[in-house]
A and B are shown apart, each in its own frame.
Chain A
Amino acid sequence: MNEKGISLVQLRQRKTRQTAALFLAPVIILLVVFIAYPIIDTFITSGYQWNGISADKKMVGLANWAKLIKDTKFWIAFKNNVIIMILSIIIQIPLGLAMATFLDFGGKKLTIFKVIWFIPMLMSSVAIGFLFTYALATNGGIVSTISGWFGGSNIDLLGNPKLALLTVILIIAWQFTPFYMVYFMAGYTNIPYDVFEAARIDGATRGQYFWKIALPLLIPSIKSAAILSMVGSLKYFDLIYVMTGGGPGTATELMATYMYKESFKNFNMGYGSAIAGGMFILITMVSMITMKLINGKQED
Chain B
Amino acid sequence: MKKRMYKIMALAMTAAMVVPMAAQTTAFAADDKEITYWNIAVESPDKDIVTAAVDKFNKETESGYTVNQVAIQNDTYKEKLVIAMSSGECPDMYSSWSGGPMYEYIDSGFAQPIDDLLDQSDVKDKLLDAAIEQGSYNGHVYAIPYLNVSLAGIFYNKDMFEKYGLEEPKTLADLENICATLKENGITPFALANASKWTGSMYFMSLAARYGGLEPFQNAVAGTGKFTDDCFIKAGEKIQEWVNNGYFPDGVNSLSEDDGQAKQLMYQETAGMLLCGSWYTGTFQTDSEEFYQKIGWFPFPAIDDSDADPTIQIGTVGDQFISFNCEGDKLAAAFECAADHLSDEVADITYSNNKIVPVKDAGDHIKDPVVKEIFDAAQEASSIQLWYDQYLPTSVASAHLDGLQEVFGLTKTPQEAQEEMQTAMDEYLSTKSDSGAADDTAEEATDDAAADDAE
Contacts and interface: CB of A to CB of B under 8 A. Distances in A.
B224 interface: no
A266 B79 CA distance: 10
A148 interface: no
Contacts of A120: none
Interface in B269-313: none
Q: Is the interface of B mostly helix, strand, loop or mixed?
A: helix
Contacts of B104: 51, 53, 267
B438 A159 contact: no
Given A134-B261, A245-B195, A53 B108 contact: yes
B251 A49 contact: no
Interface in A232-257: 244-245, 247-250
Interface string B4-27: 001001001100110000000000
Range for the number of chain B residues in contact with chain A:
35 or more
A266 B394 contact: yes
30 contacts: A23-B9, A49-B431, A52-B82, A52-B86, A53-B85, A53-B86, A53-B105, A55-B88, A56-B108, A56-B442, A56-B445, A58-B435, A137-B261, A156-B254, A157-B251, A159-B409, A160-B251, A245-B197, A247-B195, A247-B405, A248-B253, A248-B406, A249-B411, A263-B82, A264-B78, A264-B82, A266-B395, A266-B398, A267-B104, A267-B393
A154 to B, nearest CB: 5
Nearest to B253: A159
B11 to A, nearest CB: 11
A117 B393 CA distance: 46
Interface of A: 22-23, 25-26, 29-30, 49, 51-56, 58, 129-130, 133-134, 136-139, 154, 156-161, 164, 244-245, 247-250, 261, 263-269
B37 interface: no
B441 A56 contact: yes
Nearest to B12: A26
B261 A133 contact: yes
Interface of B: 6, 9, 12-13, 16-17, 78-79, 81-83, 85-86, 88, 101, 104-105, 107-110, 195-197, 249-256, 259, 261, 393-395, 398, 402, 405-406, 409, 411-412, 431, 435, 438, 441-442, 445, 448-449
Contacts of A137: 251, 254-255, 261
Given A56-B442, A248-B405, 16 more contacts: A26-B16, A53-B104, A55-B449, A133-B256, A134-B259, A136-B254, A138-B251, A156-B251, A158-B251, A247-B402, A249-B405, A249-B412, A264-B78, A267-B82, A267-B101, A268-B395
A52 B101 CA distance: 12
A249 B449 contact: no
A159 B251 contact: yes
The 10 closest A-B CB pairs, nearest first, are A138-B251, A159-B254, A54-B108, A158-B254, A159-B253, A156-B251, A53-B85, A138-B250, A55-B445, A264-B79
A139 B249 contact: yes
A26 B251 contact: no
A49 B449 CA distance: 20
B405 A265 contact: no
A156 B250 contact: yes
| Most-contacted residue by chain A among B9, B196, B254, B431 (CB, 10 A) | B254
A22 B9 CA distance: 8
Contacts of B261: 133-134, 137
